[in-house]
Structure 1
Amino acid sequence: MSLLKRITTDPEVCHGAACIAGTRIPVSVILDNLAAGSSREEILKNYPSLSPADIDATLAYAALLAKEEHLAL
């Protein structure tokens, strides 16, 4: 999936958390914003280094993680 090329992990950046490539913006920050009800437009305004494709990549990454592990809620 080409979108996932936008997600990187590096132990030297954000303690190895998954981030948007070329930024120090963790995937979890984008997901937290979406979960809190922020629109794509609000996120892009608040994080001008992001593109719409970065949000798509974040959702694709989260979808893959959700398929890998089942959590008892």
Structure 2
Amino acid sequence: MNWREHITVDPHVCHGKACVRGTRVLVSVVLDNLAAGLSAEEVTQSYPSVSAEAVRAALAYAADLAGERVVAVPA
């Protein structure tokens, strides 16, 4: 999955935060909904401008970010 086809960052849209291409739906909102237990189908129902493929792209984007840096977790 090439998430770059579905995720954009534009300093003039949503203060430069990652959004689903062609929308103002933040990737973080999609991920927050998934983390809260919503299914991809429920996310697309809540945000009709977000496709199922864009939901998968948001997960791929998050996976790439997670692989880029180490976040210290207290023991």
Q: TM-score w.r.t. structure 1 length?
A: 0.94
Kindly name which structure, 1 or 2, has the bigger radius of gyration based on alpha carbons.
2
2:14 is aligned to: 14
Runs ≥4 in structure 1, deviation > 6 angstroms? none
Question: For the residues of structure 2 that align with 1:64 and 1:56, how far apart are their CA atoms?
Answer: 12
Cα deviations by residue, 1:7-64 (Å, 9 ceiling, x for unpaired): 1001110000000100000100000001111111110110001111001100110000
| Higher fraction of helix | 1
Cross-structure match for 2:53: 53
**Which residue number corresponds to residue 31 of structure 2?**
31
| Structure 1, unpaired ranges of 5+ | none
Report the CA distance between 1:2 and its aligned residue. Answer: 2.8
What is the percentage of aligned positions where both structures have the same residue? Answer: 56
Q: How many residues get paired?
A: 73
Looking at structure 1, the residues matched to 55 and 31 of structure 2 have their Cα atoms a distance apart, in angstroms, of 9
TM-score of the pair, normalised by structure 2: 0.91
